[in-house]
Every structure is written in C-alpha cells, then in structure tokens.
C-alpha cells in the first residue's frame, strides 16, 4: 500500500514539474508567433532591432497608407517631420506625404501631390529619390490625359515632365519606363494634330493643314500615322502645283513654281519610302511617284529593319478594345511603339501665317530668281538629302524641259518693272522705246460724224468715247492690262441716234370700256350722273340660316350700349 502511495506521489510530482517547465517556456515566448518586419519594398530603412520613436511613426504611417487611411498617414508623417527634423526618415517621410495625395486621387489631391513632389525635388535635388518624384509628377498628368478630340493640356504637360525626367536623370532606373510613357503621350498628341490636319486637308485648306502636319513630322517621328501625314503633305504640294495655272504670272514663273512644288511633293514621298518603308502608306508613295514619272528611291537594309521592328512592336486593336474605347474617357495608346527613342527636343511651333509668308517667298522667287536658289522646307529635307534646286530658268530634276525662246521673242510674256510706267528704266523714260499701240482699234463708220485722230499723235493718246463723254470720237482699245485679254463686244460700232418709242399694243387681258360700263352697279352709275347714292339695306336676318350672338336681344345693363 505504501509502495502504491509512493508511486502515485512520484507521478504527481513529475506531472507538476512538467507543468512548471511548460509554463516557463511559454512565458519565455518559445510558442509565441514572431511579428513579421516590414519588407524592404515598404521601408528601405527598416531595421528589425530598431525601436526608435521616429521609426515607429514611420511604420505606422506606412501601414495606414497601405490600408487607404490617407489622413492618418499624413498626420503621422507630418508629426515625424515636426518632431524629428534631423531623423533619417525625414526624406522618406517628405516623399511619402506626396504619395498619400497621389493615391487618394482627384483633381485637388493631384495638385497637392504635385506640389509635394516639387518641394521634395527642391530640398533633395541630388538624391536618387528625386528621379522618382519627377516621375510621379509626370504620371499625375499622364493619368489625367483625355482623348485626342478633347483638350490636350494634360498631355502636353505630361510630355514636358517626361522629357525633364529623361534629360535630368539619365542614370535613373526609371528611364525605360519614362521613355515608354513618353511614346504613349506623343501618340495621343499625334492623333490630336492629325485629326485637325485631316479636317483642313479635306477642306482643301493646305496652309492650315500643312501647319498641323508639319508639327507631327517634326515632333513625333514614332507616331503610328506619320507616313500618312507625309503623304498628305505631298498631296498638298501636288494640288498646289496643279492650281498654279490660275495665277497671274508669266509662263516662265509658272513653270518654275510648278517645278518647285512638284519637287517638294517628291521630297515628301521619298521620305516615306526611305524612313518608313514598312509602314502601310509606303506603297502609296511609290504609286504617286510612278504616276508623276519620277524615280522611286530604294531604302537601305538598316532602314527596313528599323521600320519593321517599330511596326512589330505596336499592339493590334481588337474588337473588344474598340468597344471599350466607346465607354471610357481614357485615350488609346495601344498603337504606340514599344521601341525607339522618342523625341525629347522642343520644336518650334509651326503656324499658318509663317507658311503664308513662305508661299509668298516662293512666288517672289519664281518671278525674280536673280541667281538665288529656290527656298526649301526644313521638315522635308532635314533628314533626307534633298536634290539641289536650280535657279533662273533651269528645270528641276524630274521635270520636263520647255523649248528655248526663239530669236527676237522675249523670254517672258510679262515683264515686271518698277512703278512709273512700262518704259521707265531707273527712274528715267526710255526714249528709244516706242509707245504701245492700241490693239484692235476700231475705225468709226463713214458718215457717222467721227473725228479722225490728228496726224502725228499716238493712237494711245486719243480719248476713248467711253471715258471722254464725246460720242463722236472713235474708240480706242483699253491700255495694256498686264497681259490680260480685253473684255469687249466684237462689234463696237456706235448705235444710231435714238428715236421715239412706238406705242405699245393693247394688253390682251384689259377689259374693254363698254364692258366695264355695263358691269358697273346702278348706284355707282347714278352717283356718276349727279344723283344721290341710295343706302343699300342690310339683308334681313334669319335665325334658321345662321346663328350669331350679335343678333340676340340684349339684356340687363347691355341694353345701354
């Protein structure tokens, strides 16, 4: 019995000892779950062994930001900056305040986020995080871009900020992302300019269309429809070349101006083939050159490979994505290239008035070359070697030559001189030049009383009947009107003296006098004879025939009226 009691006591004591040991180990934290520290992505300066108060504020703010509690996160971050201005977390806290506004969204929040990022760049310009802040500023405007047919202000600002990011921080790891975003922004801006330029092109307003299309060619070389813009520019010059015949210029000036515009159209078509050989409209450029009888250039293998790489990087647009574009306000960036260097240089904006001045300069050169080369267009020849334009009457490459003028025949049918008369040279009258004779002067008929011109008096000095007011003087032809044909009737013989007009015949629809008298009422006839006109009685009212309130008997106060 004693042995059993002793065995039971020993078991009890062992169990109690086991309970004490397990309680001690549990109190020591062996079975407690360890708290997972913040990852390096959430906090680059996190330290597991750190228990500093500034770090506690920063960690708490990051957890609130992750949960979407932006107000609490900003309060903790601002408390950290005010309480511990020299903390190692101050720089990250300043940047995180901008992140809270950025993730909150909305127009007002985005403006506040931009201000915070700009302040961060001002305080820490040499830190690696400055590139991240500049990238966030560009992303603010990227997220607010609208479709190409809307206001392009946000897209323009996004392009400026991405360019600043690439130029100021070329060694940043965010450069590839910034380049791709810049390609997409320029795709949207290219669509905006192309839509307006196509509208003006359809209205045959080639000056306004050229201003829009020229900005695309200069600023957005990776635009998905830059080849079509060049085709439209070439078509505009070709249309202007066809309309030159309507200008009041001499034949030689028209020929020079026509050759100049044809050559510019050729430059635009050549650039499509040489720089964008794998784009859809390269075949259209070849067809236009062949139709004009001009040589078709051959692109290099490198140009073909580069163009093919750019075109293959563009994502196709399927039917599902087209349906999505109908319900969203975001612009489409699918057609943007994924390779190639976007343009980061600012280009001068091309305006329609500048193109008008260039056109006037072309016309002035065509009239008086004076040995000067023909004007050129930078956006057509800045990357493609343009063929030199010849001055004076020399033809342009690819243009048919005209027969030289024969002996005794002037080269120009119209000579532009200084003001002072056709025979003025250097301010003095040329005495050797004879006075111009009136073309096709009409002699007066014999016996018409016309006075012949005096002997020795030039025919051009005789007064014209239309201007002098003397009908007896024989008319002379109009003076030289710049080579234009005189508008006048073939037979300019003066009309005979006017005579009295014959009496007009009676009209068919007139009523004879006898019929009018018989149809006159009797009272009118009596009044005409001096008798007093009798007053015609009003017809008697019959209630069965019509109903009217005017014939009802008046009652009450209505009897007074």
Q: Which two tokens stand for residue 233?
A: 């520019």
Kindly write down the DSSP assignment for every residue of 13-71, as one continuous string.
Answer: HHHHHHHHHHHHHHHHTSSSPPPPPPPTTT-TT--TT---HHHHHHHHHHHHHHTT-HH
| H or E segment to which residue 424 belongs | strand 424-425
> Rounded to an integer, what distance in angstroms lies between the CA atom of residue 432 and that of residue 82?
98
474 near 444, Cβ under 8 Å? Answer: yes
Closest to 87 (Cα-Cα) out of 56, 119, 54, 57? 54
Q: Which two tokens stand for residue 163?
A: 């360019």
Q: Which two tokens stand for residue 6?
A: 């002793």
Q: Which pLDDT belongs to residue 347?
A: 78
511 pLDDT higher than 70: no
Q: Which pLDDT belongs to residue 517?
A: 52
Q: Give mean pLDDT, residues 293-300.
A: 93
Phi-psi domain of 489 (left: phi exceeds 0; alpha: psi -120 through 50; beta: other): beta
Report for 321-325, 358-362, 483-487, 490-494: range of highest mean pLDDT: 358-362
22 pLDDT higher than 60: no
Question: Phi and psi (nearest 5°) for 428?
Answer: -120, 155
| 417-443 core/surface letters (b: 16 or more CB in 10 A; e: else) | eeeeeeeeeeeeeeeeeeeeebeeebe
The pLDDT tens digits for 221-252 are 999 999 999 999 999 999 999 988 888 888 99
If pLDDT is split at 50, 70 and 90, which confidence band does 495 have? low
207 near 355, Cβ under 8 Å? Answer: yes
Give, in order, the Cα–Cα distances in Å from 405 to each of 248, 399, 410: 20, 18, 7
Q: Which two tokens stand for residue 50?
A: 């750190």
If pLDDT is split at 50, 70 and 90, which confidence band does 39 have? very low
> Rounded to an integer, what distance in angstroms lies between the CA atom of residue 384 and that of residue 81?
57
Q: Give mean pLDDT, residues 138-143.
A: 95
Q: Which pLDDT belongs to residue 246?
A: 85
> Rounded to an integer, what distance in angstroms lies between the CA atom of residue 348 and that of residue 351?
9
Closest to 413 (Cα-Cα) out of 315, 309, 483? 483
What single-letter DSSP state applies at residue 429?
E
Q: Which pLDDT belongs to residue 458?
A: 45
> Rounded to an integer, what distance in angstroms lies between the CA atom of residue 365 and that of residue 253?
8
Percent of the chain exceeding pLDDT 70 equals: 58
45 near 89, Cβ under 8 Å? Answer: yes
Phi-psi domain of 296 (left: phi exceeds 0; alpha: psi -120 through 50; beta: other): beta
Distance of CA 39 to the CA centre of its chain: 50
Distance of CA 382 to the CA centre of its chain: 22
Q: Give mean pLDDT, residues 453-460.
A: 45
520 pLDDT higher than 60: no
255 pLDDT higher than 70: yes
Q: Which two tokens stand for residue 354?
A: 């500048």
Give the list of residues 6+ apart from residue 262 with CB closer than 8 angstroms, or none: 237, 238, 241, 292, 396, 398, 399
The pLDDT tens digits for 364-376 are 898 888 888 888 7
If pLDDT is split at 50, 70 and 90, which confidence band does 5 have? low
Q: Which pLDDT belongs to residue 359?
A: 87
Q: Which pLDDT belongs to residue 64?
A: 94
24 pLDDT higher than 70: no
Mean pLDDT of the chain: 73
Q: Which pLDDT belongs to residue 409?
A: 41
Q: Which pLDDT belongs to residue 374?
A: 82
The more confidently predicted of residues 561 and 371 is 371
388 pLDDT higher than 50: no
The pLDDT tens digits for 112-133 are 999 999 999 999 998 989 999 9
If pLDDT is split at 50, 70 and 90, which confidence band does 381 have? low
510 pLDDT higher than 60: no
> Rounded to an integer, what distance in angstroms lies between the CA atom of residue 152 and that of residue 208?
19
> Rounded to an integer, what distance in angstroms lies between the CA atom of residue 101 and that of residue 79?
17
Phi-psi domain of 202 (left: phi exceeds 0; alpha: psi -120 through 50; beta: other): alpha
Give the list of residues 6+ apart from residue 296 with CB closer than 8 angstroms, or none: 273, 286, 289, 290
The more confidently predicted of residues 443 and 209 is 209
Q: Give mean pLDDT, residues 269-290.
A: 94
If pLDDT is split at 50, 70 and 90, which confidence band does 349 have? confident
Q: Which pLDDT belongs to residue 171?
A: 92
Q: Which pLDDT belongs to residue 371?
A: 80
543 pLDDT higher than 70: no
Percent of the chain exceeding pLDDT 90 equals: 40
> Rounded to an integer, what distance in angstroms lies between the CA atom of residue 423 and that of residue 431?
8
The total of other beta-carbon atoms located within 10 Å of residue 355's CB is 18
Give the list of residues 6+ apart from residue 20 with CB closer than 8 angstroms, or none: none
If pLDDT is split at 50, 70 and 90, which confidence band does 317 have? confident
Q: Give mean pLDDT, residues 274-285.
A: 94
List the single range of 278-282, 385-389, 497-501 with lowest mean pLDDT. Answer: 385-389
Give, in order, the Cα–Cα distances in Å from 89 to each of 34, 39, 53, 223: 25, 16, 11, 43
The three state secondary structure string of 149-211 is: CCCCHHHHHHHHHHHHHHHHCCCCCCHHHHHHHHHHHHHHHHHHHHHHHHHHHHCCCHHHHHH
471 pLDDT higher than 50: no
Q: What angle do CA 528, 529, 531 make, to 5 degrees?
A: 100
Q: Which two tokens stand for residue 426?
A: 């250097």
- End-to-end Cα distance, the chain: 146
Q: Give mean pLDDT, residues 470-496.
A: 52
Calculate the dihedral angle through the C-alpha atoms of 322, 326, 327, 330, rounding to the nearest 10 degrees.
Answer: 80
- Give just the sign of the alpha carbon dihedral 72, 75, 81, 84: negative
Q: Which pLDDT belongs to residue 248?
A: 85
The pLDDT tens digits for 159-191 are 999 999 999 999 999 999 999 999 999 999 999
The more confidently predicted of residues 217 and 16 is 217
The total of other beta-carbon atoms located within 10 Å of residue 532's CB is 8
67 pLDDT higher than 60: yes
Q: Which pLDDT belongs to residue 507?
A: 57
Phi-psi domain of 420 (left: phi exceeds 0; alpha: psi -120 through 50; beta: other): left
Residues in the chain: 561
Burial bucket for residue 69 (CB in 10 Å: 0-12, 13-18, 19+):
middle
Give, in order, the Cα–Cα distances in Å from 527 to each of 113, 153, 323, 513, 531: 101, 88, 89, 18, 5
């Amino acid at each position: 019995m004693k042995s059993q009691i002793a065995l039971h006591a020993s078991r009890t004591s062992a169990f109690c000892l086991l309970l004490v040991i397990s309680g001690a180990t549990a109190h020591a934290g062996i079975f407690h779950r360890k708290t997972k520290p913040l990852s390096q992505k959430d906090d680059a300066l996190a330290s597991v062994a750190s228990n500093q108060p500034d770090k506690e504020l920063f960690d708490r703010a990051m957890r609130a930001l992750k949960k979407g509690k932006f107000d609490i996160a900003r309060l903790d971050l601002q408390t950290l900056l005010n309480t511990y201005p020299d903390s190692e977390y101050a720089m990250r806290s300043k940047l995180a305040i901008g992140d809270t506004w950025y993730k909150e969204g909305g127009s007002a929040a985005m403006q506040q986020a931009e201000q915070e990022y700009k302040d961060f760049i001002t305080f820490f310009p040499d830190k690696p995080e400055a590139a991240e802040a500049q990238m966030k500023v560009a992303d603010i405007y990227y997220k607010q871009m609208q479709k190409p047919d809307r206001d392009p202000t946000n897209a323009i600002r996004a392009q400026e900020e991405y360019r600043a990011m690439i130029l100021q921080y070329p060694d940043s790891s965010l450069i590839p992302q910034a380049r791709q975003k810049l390609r997409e922004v320029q795709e949207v801006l290219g669509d905006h300019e192309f839509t307006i330029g196509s509208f003006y092109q359809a209205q045959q307003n080639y000056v306004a269309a050229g201003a829009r299309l020229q900005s695309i060619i200069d600023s957005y070389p990776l635009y998905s429809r830059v080849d079509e813009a060049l085709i439209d520019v070439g078509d505009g010059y070709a249309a202007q070349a066809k309309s030159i015949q309507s200008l009041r210029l001499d034949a030689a000036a028209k020929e020079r101006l026509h050759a100049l515009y044809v050559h510019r159209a050729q430059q635009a078509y050549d650039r499509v083939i040489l720089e964008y050989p794998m784009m859809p409209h390269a075949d259209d450029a070849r067809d236009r050159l062949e139709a004009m009888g001009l040589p078709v250039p051959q692109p290099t293998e490198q140009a073909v490979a580069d163009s093919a790489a750019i075109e293959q990087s563009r994502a196709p647009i399927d039917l599902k994505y087209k349906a999505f574009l109908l319900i969203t306000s975001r612009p489409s960036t699918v057609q943007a290239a994924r390779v190639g260097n976007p343009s980061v240089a600012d280009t001068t904006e091309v305006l329609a008035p500048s193109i008008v001045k260039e056109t006037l300069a072309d016309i002035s050169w065509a009239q008086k070359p004076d040995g000067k080369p023909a004007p050129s267009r930078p956006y057509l020849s800045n990357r493609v070697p343009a063929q030199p334009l010849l001055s004076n009457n020399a033809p342009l490459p690819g243009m048919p030559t005209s027969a030289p003028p024969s002996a005794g025949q002037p080269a120009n049918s119209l000579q532009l001189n200084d003001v002072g008369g056709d025979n003025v040279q250097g301010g003095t009258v040329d005495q050797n030049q004879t006075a111009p004779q009136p073309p096709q002067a009409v002699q007066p008929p014999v016996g018409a009383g016309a006075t012949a011109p005096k002997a020795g008096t030039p025919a051009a000095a005789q007064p014209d009947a239309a201007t002098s007011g003397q009908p007896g003087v024989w008319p002379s032809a109009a003076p030289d009107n710049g080579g234009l044909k005189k508008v006048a009737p073939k037979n300019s013989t003066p009309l005979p003296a006017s005579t009295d007009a014959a009496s007009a015949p009676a009209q068919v629809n007139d009523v004879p006098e006898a019929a009018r008298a018989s149809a006159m009422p009797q009272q009118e006839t009596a009044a005409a004879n001096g008798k007093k006109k009798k007053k015609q009685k009003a017809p008697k009212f019959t209630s069965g025939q019509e109903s009217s309130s005017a014939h009802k008997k008046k009652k009450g106060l209505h009897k007074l009226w």
